[in-house]
Chain A
């Protein structure tokens, strides 16, 4: 029986479908199938799954690939002609392309590229005003500002971790004190000290990309990208009516294209913004995984909310309890005549720590200062 070649081929199919299969694991898988046998599909599935998959998000892909590969053939399915398997494998691959990482260049990206080409020459000569609203920027200014934001050196505040490190200040390091002095009969000649190690605070960015935020969306992405590149732990999400995690893409090369595409897809769902729903989705699905170590949460939104303000308030209150500082950046706040009168914004105000504009470079500088020096609640 062609068991081994078929298993190896299945490994390749999985890899092509985007599952991270480690080469060494194939050896285990071959060994294991000898013990388990290939009589039962359930057992074979469980065996290959336990050895070749190590991420929960890969499980659906694995199951799909398994079904296709060992389709209705039971044990004899292991003798399937390689040709047909290869053909099916390509289908699996294409289906997986729904995960947005090999998308074609199109739409806004091409005018971004044009702007970039235009700005390339102009870049050094364009002086970007620190107080001019992003929405009024010319293409050249936008490009210059974008570069500025991409290179921005963010310094998120620091937090104390639970881990100790040696220091010349701080508390007496009892274990070390004893270890160093035990052989001197317990006479305390040295007094080693220790402090809690410090680490940068994580940042969680929740960006409203609904229609009303359109004028700011490109700057917003540059902001997210620059932030992710210079601060170590940044999680980014975009939302309109639905919430999507974009952490992996914002800082990647070509990530802009992907995020722009995702933003367009979010728009396709239509229906305006429901900030409360987006926050609820965040609180239930993601908060447990990304809100660790007292992060700073940044919400960027103009506060035009079509949902229930009470609902928004509840979710904000919940979010606030899990972060060390909750900052709401509202581009509209930059305009002198703006008053946060929308019901959503009204409901939000009582739950947020800071309400700041985010419409020009000056306001970004203010934010940088706040992140670096601001006080943080202990969480």
Chain B
């Protein structure tokens, strides 16, 4: 079997170029850590507020490297049977019934047959090291801060040797370690021992120029004027004292909505009507609606 190894961009510039080819704008501050993670074959640990495009990095990278993306969404109580593997018991039971019906139940042979790959449900972590038989995938471990400490401990072990031991089958090893991207919204501190093994990058909210470029490339229907106003308004809104600031996806949704409403310029009324797309918290909406919208808008248009 011939394996097409991943071809990793040869320089930071080359990486920026392939990412740009995927419509993703990565400035040096982000491109360098991604490049280093690829070269050092270390997990990339991305932290940042919700909605700054952490998950997007993994998606785009997989597509740029022409490989698969395997995603593990973390949650409290996540355990090995959901993250690594699980035997398909119902199927095993059915199989036993069928062997019985055929009247040829041989205990030793049955055990052997029942615990084969056919009856194994592969969860993301196992898939990530199995896939490498073909080509190393991108493994996205999303929102690690939601999982509990027990899972973090397991992950630490997994990331150091990229192997999974299944008692009934033996040890499965990655031929080529997957490209691992871990994201965290920082609802709690992830343990230092884990972060130390990673290349770390903090993704801030984009500045005006970057966000404008994102809006222009993702919402081509918006006029230059509208894109500028939308971006400026959101940037200004992020400086306001709110519970939950608007992320990039909110900016994009809002721009798309305004285009759908045939708007070419912002005014206080249309902002009031569509504020729910930008802010997802009733207190925030109440505190901004009305006078503050006008003030922010005035500053935006100034």
Q: A186 with B93: in contact, given A284-B242, A292-B187, A292-B188 (CB under 8 Å)?
A: yes
Which of B39, B150, B195, B202 has the largest number of chain A CB atoms within 10 A? B202
Q: How far is the CB of B162 from chain A (nearest CB, A)?
A: 18
CB-based contact B93/A54 at 8 Å: no
> Is A111 engaged at the interface, CB distance under 8 Å to the other chain?
no
> Is B259 engaged at the interface, CB distance under 8 Å to the other chain?
no
**Residue in B32, B79, B105 whose CB lies within 8 Å of A50:** B32
CB-based contact A36/B32 at 8 Å: yes
Q: How large is the interface on A (under 10, 10 to 19, 20 to 34, 35 or more residues)?
A: 35 or more
Give the residues from 310 to 338 in chain A that come closer than 8 angstroms, CB to CB, to chain B: 314, 318
Residues of A within 8 A of B243 (CB): 283-284
> Is A94 engaged at the interface, CB distance under 8 Å to the other chain?
no
CB-based contact B111/A183 at 8 Å: yes
CB-based contact B100/A182 at 8 Å: no
Binds A, one of B84-92, B127-135, B265-273: B84-92
Residue of A nearest to B87 (CB): A179
> Is B81 engaged at the interface, CB distance under 8 Å to the other chain?
yes
Give the residues from 93 to 108 in chain B that come closer than 8 angstroms, CB to CB, to chain A: 93, 96-97, 100, 105, 107
> Is B148 engaged at the interface, CB distance under 8 Å to the other chain?
yes
Binds B, one of A24-32, A71-79, A213-221: A24-32
> Is A102 engaged at the interface, CB distance under 8 Å to the other chain?
no
CB-based contact B201/A50 at 8 Å: yes
> Is A349 engaged at the interface, CB distance under 8 Å to the other chain?
no
> Is A53 engaged at the interface, CB distance under 8 Å to the other chain?
yes
Residues of B within 8 A of A292 (CB): 187-188
CB-based contact B283/A183 at 8 Å: no
Main secondary structure of the interface of B (DSSP, over half): helix
CB-based contact A28/B40 at 8 Å: yes
Q: How far is the CB of B209 from chain A (nearest CB, A)?
A: 16
Residues of A within 8 A of B90 (CB): 178
CB-based contact A186/B196 at 8 Å: no
CB-based contact A20/B192 at 8 Å: yes
Q: Residue-by-residue, is B98-127 near A (CB-CB < 8 Å gives 1, otherwise 0)?
A: 001000010100110010000000000000
> Is B45 engaged at the interface, CB distance under 8 Å to the other chain?
yes
Give the residues from 9 to 46 in chain B that come closer than 8 angstroms, CB to CB, to chain A: 12, 28-29, 31-33, 35-37, 39-40, 42, 45
> Is B241 engaged at the interface, CB distance under 8 Å to the other chain?
yes
Inter-chain CA distance A366–B182, complex, in Å, is 45
CB-based contact B76/A162 at 8 Å: yes
CB-based contact A32/B195 at 8 Å: no
Q: Residue-by-residue, is A29-56 near B (CB-CB < 8 Å gives 1, otherwise 0)?
A: 0011001100010110011011101111
Q: A50 with B186: in contact, given A163-B77, A179-B87 (CB under 8 Å)?
A: no
> Is B215 engaged at the interface, CB distance under 8 Å to the other chain?
no
> Is A169 engaged at the interface, CB distance under 8 Å to the other chain?
no
> Is B199 engaged at the interface, CB distance under 8 Å to the other chain?
yes
> Is B47 engaged at the interface, CB distance under 8 Å to the other chain?
yes
**Residue in A162, A178, A179, A183 whose CB lies within 8 Å of B110:** A183
Inter-chain CA distance A22–B196, complex, in Å, is 7
> Is B212 engaged at the interface, CB distance under 8 Å to the other chain?
no
Q: A179 with B200: in contact, given A161-B77, A289-B186 (CB under 8 Å)?
A: no
- A-B pairs with beta carbons under 8 Å apart, 11 shown: A20-B192, A50-B200, A54-B192, A55-B192, A56-B202, A162-B75, A163-B77, A183-B107, A183-B111, A186-B93, A186-B96
Q: Which B residues lie at the A interface, using CB under 8 A?
A: 12, 28-29, 31-33, 35-37, 39-40, 42, 45, 47, 75-77, 79, 81, 86-87, 89-90, 92-93, 96-97, 100, 105, 107, 110-111, 114, 148, 150, 186-189, 192, 195-196, 198-202, 241-243, 283
What would 15 more interface pairs be, CB under 8 Å, given A35-B35, A40-B28, A292-B188? A24-B196, A28-B36, A28-B40, A36-B35, A42-B28, A43-B12, A47-B32, A50-B200, A51-B199, A54-B45, A55-B195, A161-B148, A174-B89, A178-B90, A183-B110
Of all A-B residue pairs in the complex, the 6 with the closest CB atoms, nearest first, are: A162-B77, A178-B89, A46-B32, A50-B33, A54-B195, A54-B200
